[in-house]
């Protein structure tokens, strides 16, 4: 059995490790993106994509769950009669940051060169759990889960190379998304669950800076670093999912800082434009005088 001290130490290192992992991924992508032989503009008209990522959720109500654990721990301590029983009482704290690995699927349409419209659906799942022991060394598990099913509409614009470039090509892009949360978006815990509302006008937005990392035939890999704000409201209160929780109508945020990788598979290709047909040094034909 892991001691309470070691458990707290492991939890305290979770945040810096997660942040390191985040920036390690981003720096790796940036280095990989400097490989010029693979760089090419996305010329697909219609594409299907899968998009995994890592997200640091802006869930500020985690303190309500931690307060419940602190209260239970204090009760266990108060119930201990002898010093030996008191030594058995231990607790594990919830992580101080909520991070998860969302994934989404969808299709992307390049309706004109460098202008993309995408529709996608995703899954957000963040499960947090802790262990407490009472005066008789009995283990008690407590947990809560944030779950979301976002539907999003995205507009992506390729940034001209005269504004920003690494290789001389227009590979950077900026994307704006609008989110609608679907049924099944909820919080459930050891004490109950609350259901999120699904308003027709949507729940929030996202903004990110993207980069076309590499291209192989009709496969294009993008990386996106950005921020999302997805507000979920509920008719229920947090008191239904955590002891002594707020009795006001619950509202929480499933957005935050997010790094995504989009694997795009081209289905159809755009018609060649006059710019594409211009001769290059390799293809130009020299006529004798």
Domain residue spans in the chain?
A: 4-33+40-268
Question: Do the Cβ atoms of 54 and 101 come closer than 8 Å?
Answer: yes
pLDDT at 250: 97
pLDDT at 6: 40
Q: Which of 264, 254, 259 is nearest to 123 (CA)?
A: 254
d(CA 272, CA 284): 17
Question: Do the Cβ atoms of 100 and 55 come closer than 8 Å?
Answer: yes
Q: Which of 39, 22, 29 is nearest to 262 (CA)?
A: 29
d(CA 187, CA 252): 10
Q: Alpha helices, DSSP H only, in 4-136?
A: 4-12, 14-32, 62-79, 83-88
pLDDT at 31: 46
Contacts of 159 (CB under 8 A, 6+ apart): 170, 172, 173, 174
Tokens read off for 21 = 């992992």
Q: Which of the residues in the chain have pLDDT under 70? A: 1-40, 165-169, 272-289
pLDDT at 141: 97
Q: Which of 126, 131, 133, 150 is nearest to 61 (CA)?
A: 126
Q: Which of 233, 206, 223 is nearest to 261 (CA)?
A: 223
Sign of CA dihedral 225, 231, 232, 237: positive
Q: 224: helix, coil or strand?
A: strand
Strands 172-181 and 103-112: unpaired
Q: Which of 56, 52, 49 is nearest to 20 (CA)?
A: 56
Q: 132: helix, coil or strand?
A: strand
Q: Which of 7, 1, 134 is nearest to 77 (CA)?
A: 134
pLDDT at 43: 81
pLDDT at 160: 86
Question: Do the Cβ atoms of 196 and 181 come closer than 8 Å?
Answer: yes
Tokens read off for 211 = 């980069």
Tokens read off for 229 = 């704000």
Residue 254's alpha-carbon distances to 124, 164, 280, in angstroms, are 8, 31, 49
Residue 242 DSSP one-character state: S
pLDDT at 37: 42
Q: Strands, DSSP E only, in the chain?
A: 44-57, 90-91, 98-100, 103-112, 115-133, 139-148, 150-158, 172-181, 186-189, 193-195, 204-216, 219-237, 249-253, 256-269
Q: How many CB atoms are closer than 10 A to CB 193?
A: 14
d(CA 3, CA 14): 17
């Amino acid at each position: 059995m892991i001691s309470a001290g070691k458990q707290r130490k492991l939890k305290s290192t979770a945040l810096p490790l997660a942040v390191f992992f985040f920036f390690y991924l981003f720096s790796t992508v940036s280095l990989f993106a400097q490989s010029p032989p693979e760089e090419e503009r996305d010329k697909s008209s219609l594409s299907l994509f899968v998009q995994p990522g890592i997200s640091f959720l802006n869930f500020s109500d985690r303190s309500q769950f931690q307060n419940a654990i602190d209260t239970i721990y204090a009760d266990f301590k108060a119930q201990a009669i002898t010093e030996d029983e008191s030594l058995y009482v231990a607790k594990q704290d919830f992580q101080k940051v909520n991070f998860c690995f969302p994934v989404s699927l969808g299709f992307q349409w390049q309706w004109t060169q460098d202008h993309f419209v995408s529709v996608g659906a995703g899954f957000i799942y963040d499960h947090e759990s802790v262990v407490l022991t009472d005066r008789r060394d009995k283990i008690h598990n407590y947990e809560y889960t944030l779950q979301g099913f976002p539907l999003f509409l995205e507009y992506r614009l390729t940034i001209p190379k005269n504004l920003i470039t690494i290789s001389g090509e227009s590979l950077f892009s900026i994307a704006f998304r609008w989110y609608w949360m679907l049924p099944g978006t909820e919080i459930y815990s050891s004490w109950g669950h609350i259901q999120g509302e699904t308003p027709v006008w949507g729940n929030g937005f996202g903004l990110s800076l993207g980069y076309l990392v590499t291209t192989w035939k009709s496969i294009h890999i993008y990386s996106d670093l950005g921020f999302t704000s997805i507000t979920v409201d509920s008719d229920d209160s947090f008191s239904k999912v955590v002891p002594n929780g707020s009795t006001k109508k619950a509202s929480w945020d499933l957005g935050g800082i997010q790094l995504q990788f989009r694997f795009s598979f081209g289905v159809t290709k755009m018609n060649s434009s006059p710019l594409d047909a211009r001769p290059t040094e390799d293809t130009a034909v020299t006529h004798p005088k």
